[in-house]
C-alpha cells in the first residue's frame, strides 16, 4: 500500500509551526521535504514528522541557545497549561505496565522542575516567557527547558556572594533556599535530587555552564562545569 504524502499545510498543522518555518527547515536541511517528480511542491511522510518531533533535546537546546522555533505542542506559556499537560502525561504513564509505583515520582520530578521555572521567573522573564515541555513515553524521556534568568542570577537575589553557576546549582540541589525574595526557603530541586538518587530514574540538568548528571545504579551527586553556557535551564529525565 502506497504511503500517503502530506502537503506542507497539513505538515505545518501537525507540527504546530508556520509554513514559512517548514520552508526554512527544508532549505537548511533540518527537515527535508519530498518533491514529486522533480516538482516544486513540498510533501512529507507522517512517520517522518513523528520522528522529527521526537528529537526533544535538540528542539529544547536550540530554542534556549538561539531562539530556534519548535513545534508549539511542546510550549507551555503558563503554569496552568504545564500542569494540565503533566496531568495528561500522568494518565498515560498510569496505563503503562510496570509503572504503578514509579509514575507519580516521574510526574513529581517533572512538575518540580517546571514549577521552579515559573516560580523564579514570574514577572522577570528576560526573553520568551514559559517553558518547553515534551515527552516520549515509549523511549522513557522527558525534556523541560526555559529561557529564564537561570539558577545563578535567581539565587543571587538571596545569596549575592555566589561566585559561579556551578556553586549556585550545587546550592539549589542541596540546600533549602529560594530565589523568590524575600522568601528564603525552597526545596524543589533538593527534592528532585533525593527522588532521582533513590529511584531508577536518570537526570541531566544544566543552567549556565553548570551540569548535573545523575545516571546509573550508583548515583553520586556532583556539579561540573560544562563546555557551553546556556541561558535559563535545561533538563532531561530518563526512566
Mean pLDDT (whole number) for 178-199:
76
pLDDT higher than 50, residue 185: no
Cα pseudo-dihedral 91, 173, 149, 158, rounded to 10: 130
CA 234 to chain centroid: 6
pLDDT of residue 213: 95
Per residue in 95-153, pLDDT (tens digit) is: 989 999 999 999 999 999 999 999 889 888 998 899 999 998 888 999 999 999 999 99
- With contact defined as beta carbons under 8 Å apart, do 56 and 143 qualify? yes
SS3 159: coil
Q: Cell 553557576 maps to which residue? A: 165
Q: Which grid coordinates belong to 24? A: 526554512
pLDDT higher than 50, residue 183: no
Which residues on adjacent β-strands are paired with residue 143?
134, 236
Which residues on adjacent β-strands are paired with residue 233?
146, 207
Per residue in 41-91, pLDDT (tens digit) is: 999 998 888 888 878 998 999 999 988 888 888 999 999 999 999 999 999
Following DSSP, what letter does each residue of 35-49 receive, concatenated? -GGG-S--EEEHHHH
What domains are defined for the chain?
Answer: 5-53 (1.10.1660.10), 57-238 (3.30.565)
- With contact defined as beta carbons under 8 Å apart, do 180 and 119 qualify? yes
Q: Cell 506542507 maps to which residue? A: 8
% of the chain residues with pLDDT over 90: 67
Amino acid at each position: 500500500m502506497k504511503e500517503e504524502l502530506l502537503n506542507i499545510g497539513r505538515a505545518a498543522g501537525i507540527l504546530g509551526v508556520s509554513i514559512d518555518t517548514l520552508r526554512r527547515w527544508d532549505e537548511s536541511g533540518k527537515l527535508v521535504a519530498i518533491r514529486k517528480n522533480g516538482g516544486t511542491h513540498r510533501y512529507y511522510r507522517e512517520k517522518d514528522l513523528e520522528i522529527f518531533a521526537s528529537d526533544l533535546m535538540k528542539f529544547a537546546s536550540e530554542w534556549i541557545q538561539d531562539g530556534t522555533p519548535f513545534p508549539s505542542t511542546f510550549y507551555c506559556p503558563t503554569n496552568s497549561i504545564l500542569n494540565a499537560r503533566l496531568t495528561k502525561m500522568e494518565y498515560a504513564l498510569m496505563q503503562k505496565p510496570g509503572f504503578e509505583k514509579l509514575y507519580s515520582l516521574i510526574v513529581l520530578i517533572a512538575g518540580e522542575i517546571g514549577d521552579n521555572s515559573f516560580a523564579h521567573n514570574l514577572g522577570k522573564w528576560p526573553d520568551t516567557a514559559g517553558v518547553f515541555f515534551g515527552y516520549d513515553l515509549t523511549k522513557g524521556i522527558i525534556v523541560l527547558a526555559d529561557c529564564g534568568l537561570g539558577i545563578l542570577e535567581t539565587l543571587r537575589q538571596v545569596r549575592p556572594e555566589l561566585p559561579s553557576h556551578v556553586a549556585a546549582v550545587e546550592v539549589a540541589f542541596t540546600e533549602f533556599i529560594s530565589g523568590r525574595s524575600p522568601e528564603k526557603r525552597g526545596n524543589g530541586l533538593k527534592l528532585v535530587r533525593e527522588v532521582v538518587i533513590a529511584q531508577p530514574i536518570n537526570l541531566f540538568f544544566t543552567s549556565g555552564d553548570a551540569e548535573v548528571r545523575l545516571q546509573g545504579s550508583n548515583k553520586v551527586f556532583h556539579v561540573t562545569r560544562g563546555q557551553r553556557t546556556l541561558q535559563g535551564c535545561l533538563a532531561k529525565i530518563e526512566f
